[in-house]
Amino acid sequence: MDDLRLESLEGVGPVTSKKLSDAGVHNILDLVVRGPVDVSEITGMDIDTAVNIVNKARKQLIEDGKLEKEFVTATEIYKRRQDIGKISTGTNALDTLFDGGIETQAVTEVYGEFGSGKTQLCHTMCVNVQKPKEEGGLDGGVLYIDTENTFRPERIVSIAKAKGLDPEKVLERIIVAKAYNSAHQELILQEAGPVIEENKIKLIVVDSAVGLFRAEFLGRGTLSVRQQRLNKFMHLLTRTSEVYNIAALATNQVQSSPDTFFGDPTRPIGGNVVAHSSTYRVYFKKSGKKRIARMVDSPHHPEQEVLFTVTEAGVADPEEETKKKKKELEE
């Protein structure tokens, strides 16, 4: 196995290594995820030394083939993109929108009004990711960062049952972390490295990514601090998804009523910061009993809209619902 120990790096002795692991940086993967600013803060070393050490760690990961080189040909990028895993949503509609499913090495941000199905999608993906590859999953576990206290194991059970999976086994592979404030939310992600490896995590859910930041940093005066902190969190999420080759699914609410007089009421909270660090952005909207999903911002998906619905089985195609109703009526 490749040497991932912190002390395998020149310039990292036992003292530094202890300080780092106390702060959740357990190996050189974590070191690269956190970056030089954090490393310098944790260890007290000056920033230049920290940059040096993080660069060495990065170099070693590149040599081990765990990380992409700085300068690569398009052919290599193309090859690496073949390694990207996709988790099917279990619906034709959303899979079409996502071009096969929710991708690893990327953050997918879903934003939309209350009740538009964001949390339901998160629950559905918790089950789908556990399926074998042939069935659209990645045979992986889940880290669910719950900031709004809306994670419901009962929903997981009903979705798993509907998909023919053993609910007990499915529950066992979902690690739930409740975040009590934005600093705690950040801390959970900072310390996620070992959890990801131990539990073969292939999906990180953050529901919601911005809620706590919004609640804590109210008013114009604190807006820039909020954006900075949120920015840091989203970048950490992006790096985690890339370094560990896992999918990240983050939700976001839309601006609430006081703002709707001015401008677009469906603008996501967190504005540009979240937009720039998430790779894919999808907008969910209620339309009667159905839901509309629109791909808003993607480097390679066409901008399009699809219709889906929420059922006992999680997110579903609208036709499925109609078929089921028809069958029930016939019986």
Of Mg ion, ligand GTP, none, which one does residue 89 interact with (CB within 5 to 8 Å by kind)? none
Q: Are 134 and 307 in contact (CB under 8 A)?
A: no
Is 325 a binder of ligand GTP (CB under 6 A)?
no
Among the residue ranges 35-43, 92-100, 116-124, 255-263, the one whose residues contact ligand GTP (CB under 6 A): 116-124
What is the distance between the alpha carbons of residues 184 and 187, in angstroms, rounded to a whole number?
5
Q: Compute the least distance from the CB of residue 199 to ligand GTP, in Å.
A: 24
The H or E element containing residue 187 is helix 182-190
Residues 251-270 within binding reach of ligand GTP (CB under 6 A): 253
Of residues 85 and 314, the one with the C-beta less far from Mg ion: 314
- The footprint of ligand GTP on this chain (CB under 6 A) covers a number of residues equal to 13
**Rounded least distance, CB 8 to ligand GTP, Å:** 43
Which 119-158 residues touch ligand GTP, going by CB under 6 A? 119-120, 150
Burial of 285 (0-12, 13-18, 19+ CB in 10 A): middle
Q: Which stretch binds ligand GTP (CB under 6 A): 39-47, 108-116, 214-222, 273-281?
A: 108-116
Q: Using the rule CB under 6 A, give the single segment among 225-233, 297-305, 308-316, 323-331 that binds ligand GTP.
A: 308-316
Task: Identify which of residues 58 and 155 has a Cβ nearer to Mg ion in the complex.
Answer: 155
In the region spanning residues 92 to 151, those forming contacts with Mg ion, defined by CB under 5 A, are 118-119, 150
Three-state secondary-structure class, residue 154: helix
Cα first-last separation, the chain? 58
Tokens of 126: 């918790």
Which range binds ligand GTP by CB under 6 A, 53-61, 68-76, 110-118, 227-235? Answer: 110-118
Distances (CA, A) of 229 to 146, 209, 214, 247, 276: 18, 11, 11, 22, 14
Q: At its nearest, how many Å lie between ligand GTP and the CB of residue 29?
A: 31
Q: Residue 145 in contact with residue 205, Cβ under 8 Å?
A: yes
| Site for ligand GTP contains 310 (CB under 6 A) | yes
Q: Judged by CB under 6 A, does residue 311 bind ligand GTP? A: yes
Region at 78 (left for phi over 0; alpha for psi -120 to 50; beta for the rest): alpha
* Smallest separation, CB 122 to Mg ion (Å): 8
At 2, is the secondary structure helix, strand, or coil?
A: coil
Q: Are 171 and 165 a contacting pair, CB within 8 Å?
A: no
Q: Binding partner of residue 190 among Mg ion, ligand GTP, none, CB under 5 to 8 Å per kind? A: none
Q: Is 89 in the site for ligand GTP (CB under 6 A)?
A: no
The pair of structure tokens assigned to 132 is 């074998």
* Residue 198 CB, nearest approach to Mg ion (Å): 28
Longest dimension (CA), the chain: 73
> How many Å apart are CA 330 and CA 33, to the nearest integer?
56
Residues interacting with Mg ion, by CB under 5 A? 118-119, 150
Residues interacting with ligand GTP, by CB under 6 A? 112, 114-120, 150, 253, 310-312
